[in-house]
Amino acid sequence: MRPNLLILGGTTEASALARVVAGRDIPAVLSYAGRVDRPKPQPIPTRSGGFGGVAGLRAWLRDNAVTHVVDATHPFAAQMSRNAADACAAEGVPLIALTRPAWDEQPGDRWQRVADIPAAVDALAGPARRVMLAVGRMHLDAFAAQPQHFYLLRLVDAPDTPPPLSDHVAVISRGPFTQAGDRALMQEHAIDLVVSKNAGGTGARAKIDAARALNLPVLMIDRPALPVRPECATPDQVLDWLAHSGVNLGV
């Protein structure tokens, strides 16, 4: 049997897997949530937008004769990961997650760990600070509850409506970011606190390394609970998993 993959993407890791499966001529579609204006071009077909919950994803798997699903979404995309686990279980489609380990505190780090976004908002109570808020566009509204701070935002696209943060600067960039670049950005805006999700991986790590280099505290938001599913860490391990599931990967 030839495989026909659905890759749930929106991450550096999903793009790396897309390159590997394209290089091997393995049929696959990469799915985006459709949250950014110009998603990164890919060497395999893409689709964009929600499936319509578990029922919608089940129908999509059937209609497109998907043989395997790779959940390569961001570790904070918990809803999509839950839907994928439920839909694959219901349709009998094998699922693997391509994941990255969470970041751990290194010598020199000054982290305060919090459980989730509401806890991060609560932890910001107190005198005005200059905060680099690197949590993505979706959660900015929650921080309006702490309006006393200056917020430095970094966003992939310019927002359609200004975030409800009275004192902020938005830098529009999709990276890649470097430690030196992030250090310079933090110094330019006199940042004294960084708020970050514990994304793990390399794509978003520059700001954490920059905060350590500048001896800045980091409010680190822990990952949400994710469904239990088989996991692997590299695109090659995804290919191994496919090969062991008995499909024909060609030469």
Ligand X SMILES: NC(=O)c1ccc[n+]([C@@H]2O[C@H](COP(=O)([O-])OP(=O)(O)OC[C@H]3O[C@@H](n4cnc5c(N)ncnc54)[C@H](OP(=O)(O)O)[C@@H]3O)[C@@H](O)[C@H]2O)c1
Contacting positions for ligand X (CB under 6 A):
8-11, 31-33, 35, 50-53, 56-57, 73-74, 76-80, 83, 136, 138, 197
Smallest distance, ligand X to C-beta of residue 39, A: 10
Residue 149 or 197 with smaller CB distance to ligand X:
197
**What are the respective helix, strand and coil percentages of the chain, to the nearest 5?**
30, 20, 45
CA distances from 27 to 82, 242, 248 (A): 24, 12, 11
Smallest distance, ligand X to C-beta of residue 248, A: 27
Count helices and strands in the chain by DSSP H and E runs? 7, 12
Smallest distance, ligand X to C-beta of residue 174, A: 10
Residue 56 or 176 with smaller CB distance to ligand X:
56
CA distances from 4 to 66, 156, 223 (A): 5, 31, 30
What is the C-alpha to C-alpha distance for residues 217 and 180, in angstroms, rounded to an integer? 17
Residue 20 or 78 with smaller CB distance to ligand X:
78
Residue 3 or 9 with smaller CB distance to ligand X:
9
What is the C-alpha to C-alpha distance for residues 151 and 187, in angstroms, rounded to an integer? 14
* Cβ neighbours of residue 60 closer than 8 Å, sequence gap 6 or more: 6, 51, 66
Smallest distance, ligand X to C-beta of residue 213, A: 24
Long-range contacts of 160-169 (CB under 8 A, 24+ apart): 163/137, 164/140, 165/140
Task: Work out the number of other CB atoms within 10 angstroms of the CB of residue 13.
Answer: 26
Smallest distance, ligand X to C-beta of residue 184, A: 23
Residue nearest to ligand X according to CB distances in the complex: 50
Residue 56 or 108 with smaller CB distance to ligand X:
56
Residue 125 or 158 with smaller CB distance to ligand X:
158
Smallest distance, ligand X to C-beta of residue 71, A: 9
Smallest distance, ligand X to C-beta of residue 98, A: 11
What is the C-alpha to C-alpha distance for residues 142 and 213, in angstroms, rounded to an integer? 29
Nearest to 148 by CA among 118, 125, 171, 170: 125
Phi, psi of 207 (to 5 degrees): -70, -30
Residue 1 or 158 with smaller CB distance to ligand X:
158
